[in-house]
Amino acid sequence: MGRRKLVELQKASKVYKILGGQEFWALRDVSLEVYEKEFVSIMGPSGHGKTTLMNLIGLLDKPTYGKVILDGVDTAKLDDVQLSKLRNEKIGFVFQQYNLINRLNVLENIEIPLILRGVSKKERVEIVRKAIELVGGEEIWFTKKPNQLSGGQQQRVSIARAIIGDPQLILADEPTGNLDTASSKIIMQTFMRLNDSGKTIIAVTHNPEVASCTRRVLYIRDGSIIKEEVPDPSKCVFK
């Protein structure tokens, strides 16, 4: 029995109307497949479609043409409520800017997805404890506000929040973009550990060192995937 296809794009294009009625093709006829337990990175120059592609995969935007299929579901057939439900059940997001809420403490930030699911307070604390341990964080962070933590610590908190609902897919947009080398190493080791535990991860990055630690690299230019390669695992600098 073969691996399950988790993400599939079929000739997906995203077209924007710009001044004068002209069209700008942010993505053009992108077809790709990502299977469960893969760790894929997407590389390319700024403004060439990386984030647009991530938004389509993450169901944050819809293609102008083509299809996005998530875990066998043709998302074009879903309304906004159904899309939101599928996104919340299947996908965890990690962003360059962390997107944590500074008026809440770390525990409260991480447990937000569980509150939305109606999980009891006692259960939430136990699940958060396991999540923070999985990302190499510490329980003493729970009462701290995000701005009392370092950038690397905040990113680990955001990863804990992304995995708290046990999603099948983690989407990371420049997850080490604001971090120094030491913090980047910790974050990449966290992702590799999550991938080894069975999580599927797709990461947008401009950093070839980050890409070298993933299992497949897709290169995008002018809105099209121009090539892909499989990095040599021995060349990963973050192990």
Read off the pLDDT of each residue in 117-138 and give the average, rounded to a whole number.
Answer: 93
Q: For residue 75, is pLDDT > 70?
A: yes
Q: What's the rounded Cα separation, in Å, for the pair 139 and 126?
A: 11
Q: What's the rounded Cα separation, in Å, for the pair 105 and 225?
A: 40
CB 42 within 8 A of CB 17: no
CB 40 within 8 A of CB 19: no
Q: What's the rounded Cα separation, in Å, for the pair 195 and 34?
A: 13
**By three-state DSSP, how is residue 45 classified?**
coil
Does residue 96 form part of some domain?
yes
Work out the widest C-alpha separation in the chain, in whole angstroms.
57
Q: For residue 92, is pLDDT > 80?
A: yes
Q: What's the rounded Cα separation, in Å, for the pair 186 and 189?
A: 5
The DSSP bridge partners found for residue 216 are: 40
Residues of the chain with pLDDT > 90, as a percent, come to 86
Domain that holds residue 164: 37-61+87-235
Model pLDDT, residue 101: 95
Does residue 157 form part of some domain?
yes
Average pLDDT over the chain, rounded to an integer: 94
Q: Structural domain tally of the chain? A: 1
Model pLDDT, residue 37: 96
pLDDT category at 116 given cuts 50, 70, 90 is confident
Does residue 98 form part of some domain?
yes
Q: What is the pLDDT of residues 189-219, one digit of tens each?
A: 999 999 999 999 999 999 999 999 999 999 9
Model pLDDT, residue 230: 96
Does residue 216 form part of some domain?
yes
Does residue 70 form part of some domain?
no
pLDDT category at 70 given cuts 50, 70, 90 is very high
Q: For residue 1, is pLDDT > 90?
A: no
Model pLDDT, residue 12: 97
Does residue 205 form part of some domain?
yes
CB 207 within 8 A of CB 185: no
Q: For residue 133, is pLDDT > 70?
A: yes
Q: What's the rounded Cα separation, in Å, for the pair 160 and 149?
A: 14
CB 157 within 8 A of CB 146: yes
Q: For residue 120, is pLDDT > 80?
A: yes
- The residue behind tokens 């525990």 is 107
Report the DSSP pairing between strands 224-229 and 23-35: unpaired
Q: What is the pLDDT of residues 37-50, one digit of tens each?
A: 999 999 998 889 99
In order of 132, 190, 228, the CA distances from 175 in angstroms are 17, 11, 21
Q: For residue 134, is pLDDT > 60?
A: yes
Residues of the chain with pLDDT > 70, as a percent, come to 99
- The residue behind tokens 């990502």 is 34
Does residue 81 form part of some domain?
no
CB 86 within 8 A of CB 63: no
Residue 119, domain CATH: 3.40.50.300
The pair of structure tokens assigned to 205 is 């990055």
Does residue 72 form part of some domain?
no
Model pLDDT, residue 35: 97
Run of H or E including 125 = helix 121-134
